[in-house]
């Protein structure tokens, strides 16, 4: 139809005529009064055009001889548009792609508000499902991409030994010390380390019992020398472990940037600081108050339990989950703080004259915290009927508040656990006997594909959101 001569459209009145619509070969004659019911749509705006330029802004071509408007769109979706003009309602069949349908009605200037109630719930639900699947795919993609990054960093560190003295020997020791399960030697070392950590924790707990303390005639107590021997042996082992890992590390500068190495350092630091403090106190009695510092540092020995994270996939995954779930954790704390503030004031107002345990708002904060987290110590309880109803509402609200963010955190934990298992499997399958030649277990083509896929997804989301926002603004104005 392009190239046909057009007569002057200034005298043409579409309102009293019938126009022909051609959508991808699908032809249909429509009455003007039907289109005028929806003047803000694309076909309705055609009736107000009086020039070739204004018509071609709305359609792809126009034949003035046949009074036919041509649209280069999907002809299979146009019957849904026709049904809208005839009934004023949109209906969506189950087999349709909701995104294609959404783009199509957006082109014709039809708002989603016209979708009939019988189809609205299903339509919007199907639009939300891909967003959830996209989040899960993004999490899987992020998990896999992060695994690739960590594997490549692992092989990059292993390659540094090729240029160092005694590189092969140091690399084998590094793999044995830093990767439990890599070889028989690493498994033996891992088992010994776990036994020493558990023995140190058990010794610290038993040392607090009066049955295992030596009481002198003057009433002073002293630790059992056997526990002291176990403690010194544990410190010696932890120190040897840290020094050995530092000696065979591929990069001394980055060594203490690793969280597990910092945990190893913190597990022995209190002992040496306590030793220095005791020596200073003995040499200078005026500094006797420093002894209290030593007592506090001794309590920090409990953090040695974190050394088990080096040997536990679950603990490492838990640490990564907490690191990357700060939004969810913050959301949980926000919900709890709002609920605690509300229920504590309500309980104070109801119980302040009847219950001495709830006669101040700070005391009610404690009660609301215990109730919302469903701990229920029972040390303070409401005594009035209204107070008990408030407590019931507080407990039910606490269950809902805690459950909602926990699901998101659990999903992230699953992803990080899967990623950690992939990383450990790749590390155990490596073989450096003949030096660094190739990087096994890593498909660089897949790695590149993941990066490109992530970029394309971001660009697609940007391009998809812009037309929708413009259409919504047009419909509002």
Whose CA is closest to 143, among 440, 457, 451, 419? 419
Check: pTM over 0.75? Answer yes or no: no
List the chain pLDDT tens, one digit each, 477 residues.
444 334 444 444 555 577 888 898 888 888 888 888 888 888 888 888 878 888 888 888 888 777 788 898 888 888 888 888 888 888 887 777 877 888 888 888 888 878 887 887 777 777 665 554 444 444 444 444 445 566 667 677 777 777 777 777 888 788 778 777 777 888 888 888 889 888 888 888 888 787 777 777 776 777 778 888 888 898 999 899 889 888 888 888 888 888 888 888 888 888 888 888 777 777 766 555 665 666 667 777 777 787 887 777 777 788 878 777 778 888 888 888 999 999 999 999 998 888 888 888 888 999 999 998 888 888 888 889 998 999 999 999 988 888 877 777 888 888 778 777 767 776 666 555 555 444 444 455 555 555 555 555 555 444 444 343 443 344 334
Tokens 């792809």 appear where? 60
**Order of strands across the sheet with 68-71?**
26-31, 18-23, 68-71, 61-63
pLDDT tens per residue across span 257-300: 888 888 888 888 888 888 887 777 777 665 556 656 666 677 77
CB–CB of 461/137 below 8 Å? no
Q: Which residues lie below 8 Å from residue 114, measured CB to CB, with a gap of 6+?
A: 84, 88, 89, 90
- Residue 427: how many CA atoms within 13 Å on its side-chain side? 28
Q: Which residues contact 89 (CB under 8 A, 6 or more apart)?
A: 83, 114, 115, 116
Inter-residue contact 168 to 174 (CB < 8 Å): no
Within 208-258, residue ranges assigned H as helices are 225-247, 252-255
Strands 68-71, 61-63: pairing is: antiparallel
The pLDDT value recorded for residue 150 is 66
C-alpha distances out from residue 115 to 14, 40, 88, 375, Å: 28, 16, 9, 47
For position 174, what pLDDT does the model report?
81
Q: Tell me, what's the pLDDT at 432?
A: 58
Eight-class DSSP state of 115: B
Torsion of CA 341, 344, 350, 356, to 10 degrees: -150
pLDDT at position 446: 52
The structure tokens listed for 47 are 């009736």
Distance CA 162, CA 428 (A): 20
The 10s digit of each residue's pLDDT in 30-39 is 888 888 888 8
Give the pLDDT score at 393: 92
Instruction: State how far the Cα of 413 lies from the Cα of 324, in Å rounded to an integer.
Output: 10
Tokens for 437, please give them: 């030649």
Nearest to 404 by CA among 329, 343, 341, 321: 329
């Amino acid at each position: 139809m392009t190239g046909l001569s057009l007569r002057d459209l200034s005298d043409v009145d579409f309102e009293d005529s019938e126009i022909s619509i051609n959508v991808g070969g699908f032809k249909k004659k429509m009455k003007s009064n039907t289109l005028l019911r929806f003047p803000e749509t694309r076909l309705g705006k055609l009736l107000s055009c009086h020039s070739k330029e204004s018509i071609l802004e709305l359609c792809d071509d126009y034949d003035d001889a046949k009074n036919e408007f041509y649209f280069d769109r999907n002809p299979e979706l146009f019957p849904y548009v026709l049904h809208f003009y005839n009934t004023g309602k949109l209906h969506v069949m189950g087999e349709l792609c909701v995104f294609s349908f959404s783009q199509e009605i957006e082109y014709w200037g039809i708002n989603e508000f016209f979708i009939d109630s019988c189809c609205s719930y299903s339509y919007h639900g199907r639009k939300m499902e891909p967003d959830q699947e996209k989040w899960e795919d993004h999490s899987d993609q992020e998990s896999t991409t992060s695994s690739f990054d960590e594997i490549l960093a692992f092989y990059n560190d292993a390659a540094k030994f090729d240029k160092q003295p005694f590189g092969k020997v140091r690399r084998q020791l590094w793999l044995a010390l830093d990767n439990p399960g890599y070889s028989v030697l690493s498994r033996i070392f891992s088992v010994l380390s776990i036994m020493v950590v558990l023995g140190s924790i058990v010794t610290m707990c038993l040392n607090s019992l009066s049955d295992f303390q030596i009481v002198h005639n003057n009433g002073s107590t002293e630790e059992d020398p056997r526990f002291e021997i176990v403690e010194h042996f544990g410190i010696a082992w932890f120190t040897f472990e840290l020094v050995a890992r530092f000696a065979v590390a591929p990069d001394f500068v980055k060594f203490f940037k690793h969280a597990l190495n910092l945990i190893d350092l913190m597990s022995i630091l209190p002992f040496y600081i306590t030793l220095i403090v005791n020596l200073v106190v003995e040499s200078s009695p005026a500094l006797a108050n420093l002894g209290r510092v030593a007592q506090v540092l001794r309590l920090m020995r409990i953090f040695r339990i974190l050394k088990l994270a080096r040997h536990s996939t679950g603990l490492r995954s838990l640490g990564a989950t907490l690191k990357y779930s700060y939004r969810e954790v913050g959301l949980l704390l926000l919900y709890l703080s709002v609920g605690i503030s509300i229920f504590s004031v309500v309980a104070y107002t109801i119980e302040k004259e009847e219950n001495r345990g709830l006669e101040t708002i700070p005391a009610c904060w404690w009660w609301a915290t215990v109730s919302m987290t469903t701990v229920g110590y029972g040390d303070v309880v409401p005594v009035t009927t209204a107070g008990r109803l408030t407590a019931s509402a507080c407990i039910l609200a606490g269950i809902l508040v805690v459950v909602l963010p926990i699901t998101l955190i659990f999903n992230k934990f699953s992803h990080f656990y899967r990623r950690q298992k992939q990383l450990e499997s790749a590390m155990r399958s490596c073989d450096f006997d003949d030096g660094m030649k190739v990087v096994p277990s890593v498909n660089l083509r897949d790695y590149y594909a993941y990066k490109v896929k992530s970029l394309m997804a971001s660009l697609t989301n940007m391009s998809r959101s812009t037309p929708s926002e413009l259409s919504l603004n047009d419909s509002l104005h």
